[in-house]
Chain A
Amino acid sequence: MTRVLELRNLTKDFEGRGRTVRALDGINLRLSRGEFVCVVGASGSGKSTLLSMIAGLMTATGGEITLDGEPVTGPGPDRGLVPQAGTLYPWRTVERNVAFGLELLPLDTAERAQRVDWYLAETGLSDLRKSLPRQLSGGQQQRVAIARALACEPDVLLLDEPLGALDVQTKEDMQVFIRQVWQDTGATVLMVTHDVEEAVFLGERVVVLASEPGRVIAEVPVELPDDRELGIKRVSAFLALRARIEDLIRAERRTAVDDATEQSA
């Protein structure tokens, strides 16, 4: 398979008040075309920083990001970003939110309208096309954000805890929805979450991050059937995978706590 996105030894330091915080330390990651990769990690493990750098909104301190072999130097529609919440244009209707990126491309009106229609239908938003964001539920708003990013047909779709703000029921519906969209569009997806169950359900591969500094401690392939329904979350293979990843995170946290007590002793 062709590599789309490649991170080589990616490092990020934040300077602040005389001290430097290393948010990410030597991250290596490869995504092939059409893959769905989930990154899990505790709060502060650098998940958002990672996506911001891939999106081109932040420069790396060290290492390299390439997309189809070309180094990433800034933001662009070849990498679609869906942030955690609340980034729709409140004055634009649903359809005009989805059209935003397309308005910036050299497309004729008919083609633009056609693409908007297609992504609205795919994301189940056709009936809401004339609504304003404030008239939508949280789940619907995230669907619009996903449709808006997808409409530019990016090489990689970057999702930053897109379901973090939703209730359990809506969240599960949205998980099914995201997998469906992925299968229909063949998009390459890199999704960040702190929810291990979600990562296993959605991903073909789960990358586990540890904190302070943020680094990859494991890459776990998800060997589950491609046709996944919510019921799979109770299947033993799923539960075993989930437990294994949770243990990795827990073990990592324990050594971190031990180190801290040792240092203070």
Chain B
Amino acid sequence: MAIPLLAWIGLSASGAISESFLPSPQAVWSAGLEMARSGDLLRDLSATAQRVLLGFGLAVLVSVPLGIVMGSFRAGAALFEPVIGLLRYLPASAFIPLLIIWLGLGEPSKVALLFVGTVFFNTLMTADVVRIVPRSLLDVSYTLGASRGEVLRKVVVPHSLPGIIDAIRVNAAAAFNFVVVAELVNSTEGLGYRIVRAQRFLQTDRIFAVLIVIGLAGVTLDVALRLLRSRVGRWAA
């Protein structure tokens, strides 16, 4: 963390590189401050956050139950695994034109990109987590009188929860990638949009400031999920 920062300060102070290529930290700071004051930054951040919450949230809502079914029942795996295994290799960005044709240029196509980009991986990762629940634990639960549904609810889910949160954490990073990609195409707000706009006016200082905001937002989400994971998975430590 400190080393690239120092390199940056040193490099820009030396004047070897033009301001419009590599802005100085002070320039980035004041560009960021300016955007924050005008209210742009907050608006962009909340637009981006909403897209992540909606698109990735939907992906989680679909993929976690689907993954649990796939991991628990052989029939579920036989039904979904081949399709999802194939779909996940299709690069989500390649879906952008298609999604725009289907859903138009507005919000739905952006949310859909996030969804498509994360739902398949999260399903397969959830299924893998569910599959490692030891057979003996399931067997002993049946002998204690649990039905299939009760085993799913009281054994499979709690055993898999920490692993599912891990999967969500990994795929949240992907969601951040996709949201910026989605916003590069035809939007009127959002951190990705802000970057495209700044590029048009060669405002590298603004681009840098936005990148830093994206990084901080990602780290915040990651830390939140880590905290959740260590709370939920205390028993596994």
- Interface residues of A, Cβ cutoff 8 Å to B: 52, 55-57, 74-77, 79-81, 83, 86-87, 89-92, 100-101, 103-105, 132-134, 145, 148-149, 152
Q: How far is the CA of A214 from the CA of B145 in the complex (A)?
A: 29
- The answer, among B136, B150, B154, B234, for a CB contact under 8 Å with A87, is B136
Quick check: B140 and A104 within 8 Å, CB to CB? no
Q: How far is the CA of A77 from the CA of B140 in the complex (A)?
A: 10
Cβ–Cβ < 8 Å partners of B144 in chain A: 77, 80, 100-101, 104, 148-149, 152
Quick check: A76 and B143 within 8 Å, CB to CB? yes
**Given A90-B236, A132-B235, residue A104 in contact with residue B139 (CB < 8 A):** no
Cβ–Cβ < 8 Å partners of A52 in chain B: 139
* B137 contacts the other chain (CB 8 A): yes
Cβ–Cβ < 8 Å partners of A81 in chain B: 139-140, 143
The SS class assigned to the A binding surface is loop
Quick check: A100 and B139 within 8 Å, CB to CB? no
- Proximity string of chain B (124-164) to chain A, C-beta cutoff 8 Å, 1 when within and 0 when not: 00000000001011011111111000100011001100000
**Given A91-B158, A100-B154, residue A75 in contact with residue B142 (CB < 8 A):** yes
What number of B residues sit within 8 Å (CB to CB) of A? 19
- Proximity string of chain B (189-220) to chain A, C-beta cutoff 8 Å, 1 when within and 0 when not: 00000000000000000000000000000000
Q: How far is the CA of A105 from the CA of B144 in the complex (A)?
A: 10
Q: How far is the CA of A224 from the CA of B228 in the complex (A)?
A: 57
Q: How far is the CA of A132 from the CA of B237 in the complex (A)?
A: 11
Q: How far is the CA of A79 from the CA of B145 in the complex (A)?
A: 9
Q: How far is the CA of A87 from the CA of B138 in the complex (A)?
A: 9
- The answer, among B136, B140, B143, B235, for a CB contact under 8 Å with A90, is B235
Cβ–Cβ < 8 Å partners of A76 in chain B: 143, 145
Which residue of chain A lies nearest to B139 when distances are taken between CB atoms in the complex? A57
Which 3 pairs, one residue from A and one from B, show the smallest C-beta to C-beta distance? A77-B145, A101-B144, A75-B142
Q: How far is the CA of A87 from the CA of B133 in the complex (A)?
A: 11
Quick check: A83 and B140 within 8 Å, CB to CB? yes
Q: How far is the CA of A237 from the CA of B159 in the complex (A)?
A: 49
Quick check: A91 and B235 within 8 Å, CB to CB? yes
**Given A87-B137, A100-B154, residue A80 in contact with residue B143 (CB < 8 A):** yes
A194 smallest CB distance to B (angstroms): 19
Cβ–Cβ < 8 Å partners of B155 in chain A: 89
Give me 17 other A-B pairs in contact (C-beta within 8 A), A56-B142, A79-B143, A92-B235 excluded: A52-B139, A55-B143, A57-B139, A74-B142, A75-B139, A77-B143, A83-B136, A87-B136, A89-B158, A90-B235, A91-B235, A91-B236, A103-B154, A104-B144, A132-B234, A145-B140, A149-B143
Q: How far is the CA of A5 from the CA of B228 in the complex (A)?
A: 48
Quick check: B136 and A86 within 8 Å, CB to CB? yes
A107 smallest CB distance to B (angstroms): 12
A-B contact pairs, 6 of them (CB 8 A): A81-B143, A83-B136, A90-B159, A92-B235, A100-B146, A105-B145
- The answer, among A75, A132, A134, for a CB contact under 8 Å with B143, is A75
Quick check: B142 and A104 within 8 Å, CB to CB? no
- Proximity string of chain B (3-23) to chain A, C-beta cutoff 8 Å, 1 when within and 0 when not: 000000000000000000000
Cβ–Cβ < 8 Å partners of B136 in chain A: 83, 86-87
Which residue of chain B lies nearest to A75 when distances are taken between CB atoms in the complex? B142
Quick check: A100 and B141 within 8 Å, CB to CB? yes
Which residue of chain A lies nearest to B155 when distances are taken between CB atoms in the complex? A89
Q: How far is the CA of A148 from the CA of B158 in the complex (A)?
A: 18
B213 smallest CB distance to A (angstroms): 37
Q: How far is the CA of A76 from the CA of B150 in the complex (A)?
A: 13
Cβ–Cβ < 8 Å partners of A87 in chain B: 134, 136-137, 139-140
Cβ–Cβ < 8 Å partners of B140 in chain A: 81, 83, 87, 145
Which residue of chain A lies nearest to B141 when distances are taken between CB atoms in the complex? A100
Cβ–Cβ < 8 Å partners of B150 in chain A: 104
Q: How far is the CA of A52 from the CA of B145 in the complex (A)?
A: 15
- The answer, among A90, A92, A101, A145, for a CB contact under 8 Å with B145, is A101
Which residue of chain B lies nearest to A57 when distances are taken between CB atoms in the complex? B139
Quick check: A91 and B143 within 8 Å, CB to CB? no
B230 smallest CB distance to A (angstroms): 13
Cβ–Cβ < 8 Å partners of B234 in chain A: 132
Quick check: A89 and B145 within 8 Å, CB to CB? no
Quick check: B154 and A57 within 8 Å, CB to CB? no
Cβ–Cβ < 8 Å partners of B235 in chain A: 90-92, 132-134
B232 smallest CB distance to A (angstroms): 9
Which residue of chain A lies nearest to B146 when distances are taken between CB atoms in the complex? A104
Cβ–Cβ < 8 Å partners of A77 in chain B: 143-145
A83 smallest CB distance to B (angstroms): 5
- Most chain A C-beta atoms within 10 Å of own C-beta, residue among B142, B143, B234: B143
Q: How far is the CA of A251 from the CA of B230 in the complex (A)?
A: 56
